[in-house]
A and B are shown apart, each in its own frame.
Chain A
């Protein structure tokens, strides 16, 4: 069964540094998402992306965050100047031809800010 893959599985970064989290969504999917989950808390929506532009974003997704689909397969989340509170699991998800379908999640990148 096709999977969403995320790399790296664990990223350790110094506070203030830029970090890029990478995702390869399922190949024929059209809708892409990033979520984060702070340890012990619920999954929180960050941003959705369709047709090469952001379709929706939450208040968490401020100017420090950006997303990009640089080629036909990758979907990236960039945090420009990381803060301690950015430490969390970051999940990428995708869905197919219709956004009103189950989203398929990757296993996440654990981001640790020192």
Chain B
């Protein structure tokens, strides 16, 4: 099946810094990607999505970049806050979600 994976298992940043979480995918036919955030004891929560006709999409404090040439996604979080501490997944939602293993973001006060 599709392989959606993440480069780093844990990312530790200082409060107020920007965070960048990376994700690679292998299926060149993938045309839609979603970033989810999962806090401890909760279900995944939608953050932002991007379709393959775009290479950048911005939300509130978050930006997703898509590089189709190298099959790479990144999630950038500006001015990271303690409430951003969670595990972040990228996912390919075609028919059913394929999750990567996740990157745990730890925000140091």
Contact = CB atoms under 8 A, between A and B. Distances in A.
Interface stretch (A14-22, A40-48, A65-73, A78-86): A40-48
**Chain B interface main SS type:** loop
27 contacts: A33-B96, A41-B101, A42-B100, A42-B102, A43-B38, A43-B44, A43-B89, A48-B96, A56-B95, A56-B96, A91-B43, A93-B43, A99-B93, A99-B95, A100-B32, A100-B93, A102-B34, A102-B93, A103-B34, A103-B93, A104-B46, A105-B44, A105-B45, A106-B43, A107-B41, A107-B43, A108-B42
A45 B97 contact: yes
Interface of B: 32, 34, 38, 41-46, 49, 89, 93-102
**Chain A interface main SS type:** loop
A45 B96 contact: yes
Contact of B43 (A41, A55, A56, A108): A108
